[in-house]
Amino acid sequence: MSNERIEFIEKPALINNQARLLYVSSSKYEGDWHSQLHSHHFTELFYVTKGCGGFKIGADEFNVQENDFVIINPNTMHTEVSRDRNPLEYIVIAIDGISFEIPENSLKDYISCNYANYKNEILFYLNLMVKESQAKNELYDDMCQQLMQVLLINILRLNRINVSLTQGKTIRKEIFMIKNYIDRNYHKEITLDTLAEKTHMNKFYLAHEFKNDVGVSPISYLLQRRIYESKYLLRDTDLSISQISTILGFSSLSYFAQAFKKSTNFSPLQYRKNHQKYNK
């Protein structure tokens, strides 16, 4: 009888309990898709299962199709869009506690690739995670956590990249709700009183705790979101500067111009001339 015994040397695991699965979701475009730039304190992994669409990550925009895989690190502004003729479908998982190391020669703050040659292996784990999370049988969360770790190891092997541990700073539920509300409603009139009413918190306590978790006050974060979106509208549309100011909820054109220049050192018109794709 032949026998082969393989010993495992005890050493710290590269992917240990620091990597925590937050959610797994299967999404399909059905006409009610609202594509808005946003960010998270955790890492998101997208696998396109059908259709085609596009991603906007930071200053980059690119198309995606079936079997494309996109990794978005924490605190990276992004959104995804679908194509009406061939609706986008994807599976996304969110992981707290780790980020993926971007190659030194890359100017991007994300990783994208196509897994058509490895779709059977990758989709096996993703689909099983979706099935487990939907059925919610006994110990389903433990099962999904273990599947996530196996999936990560496969991704690291295929892409020859590393992961690094993040501080895993958790934004409290109330603060996350405020941040998410601002991300989705930055074009509306928002005040501290508005946010306090949404969360039933004292507005001064709310402002203090938001700054502790996010790094800036709620109103400063609102202004940052509007400026960020205005760059996209100035660069990628032919809307007038006055229209952009109104669409984004600025109280006046002069206030928009002043806030934009303070943030970028350019007036909106100068920024458009330097960056607009419509210029020839």
Asked if residue 256 and residue 196 are part of one domain, the reply reads yes
Give domain status of residue 29, yes or no.
Answer: yes
* DSSP secondary structure code for residue 1 in this structure: -
Asked if residue 151 and residue 41 are part of one domain, the reply reads yes
Asked if residue 177 and residue 151 are part of one domain, the reply reads no
CB 186 within 8 A of CB 249: yes
Q: What pLDDT shows up at residue 279?
A: 45
Q: What pLDDT shows up at residue 206?
A: 92
Task: Give dist(CA 111, CA 106) in Å, integer.
Answer: 9
Residue 93 backbone dihedrals phi, psi, to 5 degrees = -125, 145
Instruction: Annotate 158-174 with DSSP letters as a single string.
Output: HHT--EEE---PPPPHH
Buried-exposed string 88-117: b where 16+ CB fall within 10 A, e elsewhere:
bbbbbbbbbbbbbeeeeeeeebbbbeebee
Tens digit of each residue's pLDDT (9 = 90 or more) over 158-173? 887 777 756 545 567 7
Task: Give dist(CA 165, CA 96) in Å, integer.
Answer: 9
Give domain status of residue 7, yes or no.
Answer: no
Q: What pLDDT shows up at residue 198?
A: 86
Average pLDDT, consecutive stretches of 10 residues, N- to C-terminus, the chain (280 residues): 61 64 85 67 92 86 94 86 86 89 73 94 96 91 93 88 62 78 88 91 91 84 88 86 94 94 89 68
Task: Give dist(CA 48, CA 51) in Å, integer.
Answer: 8
Among candidate residues 165, 191, 210, the one where a domain is terminated: 165
Give domain status of residue 110, yes or no.
Answer: yes
Q: What pLDDT shows up at residue 33?
A: 57
> How far lies 237's CA from each of 166, 190, 251, 272, 279, in Å?
37, 25, 21, 10, 11
Q: What pLDDT shows up at residue 264?
A: 83
Q: Which amino acid is residue 178, in one-letter code?
A: I
Asked if residue 38 and residue 115 are part of one domain, the reply reads yes
Asked if residue 193 and residue 143 are part of one domain, the reply reads no
Asked if residue 253 and residue 137 are part of one domain, the reply reads no
Asked if residue 161 and residue 179 are part of one domain, the reply reads no
Among candidate residues 134, 165, 196, the one where a domain is terminated: 165
Tally of domains within the chain: 2
Domain, as residue range, for 86: 20-165
Asked if residue 180 and residue 141 are part of one domain, the reply reads no
pTM over 0.85: no
Give domain status of residue 264, yes or no.
Answer: yes
Asked if residue 119 and residue 93 are part of one domain, the reply reads yes
Q: What is the CATH number of the domain that holds 94?
A: 2.60.120.280
Among candidate residues 146, 165, 184, the one where a domain is terminated: 165
Asked if residue 85 and residue 102 are part of one domain, the reply reads yes
Q: What pLDDT shows up at residue 56?
A: 86
Give domain status of residue 4, yes or no.
Answer: no
Asked if residue 199 and residue 153 are part of one domain, the reply reads no
Task: Give dist(CA 34, CA 189) in Å, integer.
Answer: 19
Task: Give dist(CA 46, CA 54) in Å, integer.
Answer: 12
Q: Strand, helix or coil at 99?
A: strand
Give domain status of residue 14, yes or no.
Answer: no
* SS3 annotation, 200-220: CCCHHHHHHHHHHHHCCCHHH
**Facing residues of 61 across strands?**
56
